[in-house]
Structure 1
């Protein structure tokens, strides 16, 4: 199955604040916040939602096509992604802008405050997905992840016009998108990804009820952190998949992206939704225990042990044949 992942490609600057953000906030002064957090650690990592998802898919043995815009400082990052099994032929290189930057501080409760600088990502709107699809020899699924808003809308429209199945993952960009844009991004998606907060925000932005959203998408997947995942389909009972417990959480950055990679890998192999989500949960926990969103190499034995412990031996047995080729 040929999957294209469109969206942000960025460098992550990740910091750790040893205290709690909540302890620094004064309830009746939230209209004028001026805070500075002294971080104990700084790590610079490669990231970006689309790159993180593509990285995970590549590590699981697929050959995803990454589609996005970067700066001329992308050379080293490109080589790293290619080594992980990612096809970067769909990446546009800007002549004037730097690759996007994600600056994030995580507190002791794993809460995060982040700022994203778009940089070259603003040129993603110049990418013609139709051309990318033809040069790739066709696409079976396009993931529309957070990106330049105009690019997200263009890619979604192209998918609908061409009949290419797509997954809607508006995520952080919900705060920037207006009602019409969000409706166009969601309508007709084979898969819709949100976390719990984004699910509520999506209902607010679209003005649609949950029932109406389910009538317009194939499958709505909502991640809930330590409470696992809920999968909803129109006319069916919700399916709840428990999270895979983490032995020693390190950094939540990219955990949701890893879940998407595992889930999409499973569905591309023809697995039922429950099994795909179980692999997604296992890969998400691997990333949670890693220092950065792409600082891991999935191991088949480790993944199967995690799935066996969290979801039972039957699930592990069914998943084993496909994971045999994972390093």
Structure 2
């Protein structure tokens, strides 16, 4: 008999940290020094997805590593206030709370550094609730939705892709960044889960460059991926699977921010499909949510 997390609709596994984002309305090049705003916000791929899911009326449970330092205590309190289940977080006395720093200009993301060393150091400890009966057990695997990000180590992602812990789960996987896109290769090879990637990340996974999301989706499916959603900014997004491709155009909006847009797209898509939307309708709802986010019409 399978078990589901108490009071939760989906597990969000991966980075839960503080985002420090500098934003300017100016066009920026290397070495630019311009006026703007610097914000500190709860962030990380798994947390961004969870926060968006909560806005759609779901209650996500977080599986991640958060320190017991003041920053960690503040972050956990902020997550709880947003309606997220934090009881299953791995809380370390020795590891500091992770951070992400980015600079955005009118021309998009200029640079970013992700410090997820504590999450990587914690490793498989963050998955203990799936083995000790808290959320699931070896003889009763978790059978619900799981949003997973590529900030986990390659070894742990390999175990998730090929192991038994998630054999009954509906896996939804994001790479976290182009620099970590290759960490999704185990899921391509195993034919497990739904991958959410942009055109650059799709190219990294296939070791080539693609002109369109349609071509990228076809190539990933040919390499063994079960299902992929490939985005390319304001250009058409493709949902690819063995039974065909679905293409949709994103709404045209004025972009005011970019960090977290992909996470918003993924969360909105998961929520739409959970509510029963077909592939075309789910894609349209996800693109609308991402457009509202980048235009500044939804909260950070």
Q: Is the pair's TM-score, using the shorter chain for normalization, greater than 0.5? A: yes
Structure 1 counterpart of 2:179: 175
Aligned: 1:202 with 2:209: no
Count of aligned positions? 275
Structure 1 counterpart of 2:191: 188
Runs of 4 or more off by more than 6 Å in structure 1? none
Partner SS for 1:89: coil
Structure 1 counterpart of 2:226: 218
Any residues of structure 2 matched to 1:275-294 within 5 Å, and which?
Answer: 275-290=281-296
Larger strand proportion, structure 1 or 2? 2
Matching residue within 1, 4, 12 for 1:5: 12
Partner SS for 2:86: strand
Residues 118 and 190 (structure 1), Cα distance of their counterparts in 2 relative to 1, 3 Å cut? closer
What is the CA–CA distance in structure 2 between the aligned matches of 1:124 and 1:244, rounded to whole Å? 40
Structure 1: tracts of 5 or more residues without a match: 25-34, 297-327
1:211 Cα deviation from its structure 2 partner: 4.7
Q: What is the TM-score of this pair, normalised by structure 1?
A: 0.74
**In 1, are the aligned partners of 2:217 and 2:230 still within 8 Å (CA)?**
no
What is the CA–CA distance in structure 2 between the aligned matches of 1:115 and 1:43, rounded to whole Å? 15
Residues 89 and 152 (structure 1), Cα distance of their counterparts in 2 relative to 1, 3 Å cut? farther
What is the CA–CA distance in structure 1 between the aligned matches of 2:280 and 2:157, rounded to whole Å? 28
Q: What is the TM-score of this pair, normalised by structure 2?
A: 0.80
Residues 14 and 212 (structure 1), Cα distance of their counterparts in 2 relative to 1, 3 Å cut? closer
Residues 219 and 177 (structure 1), Cα distance of their counterparts in 2 relative to 1, 3 Å cut? closer
Structure 2 counterpart of 1:131: 129
Structure 2 counterpart of 1:77: 75
Aligned: 1:147 with 2:151: yes
Larger helix proportion, structure 1 or 2? 1
Deviations 1:163-217 (A, max 9, x none): 3231222242x53576xx5431333223111011111111119xxx865631523
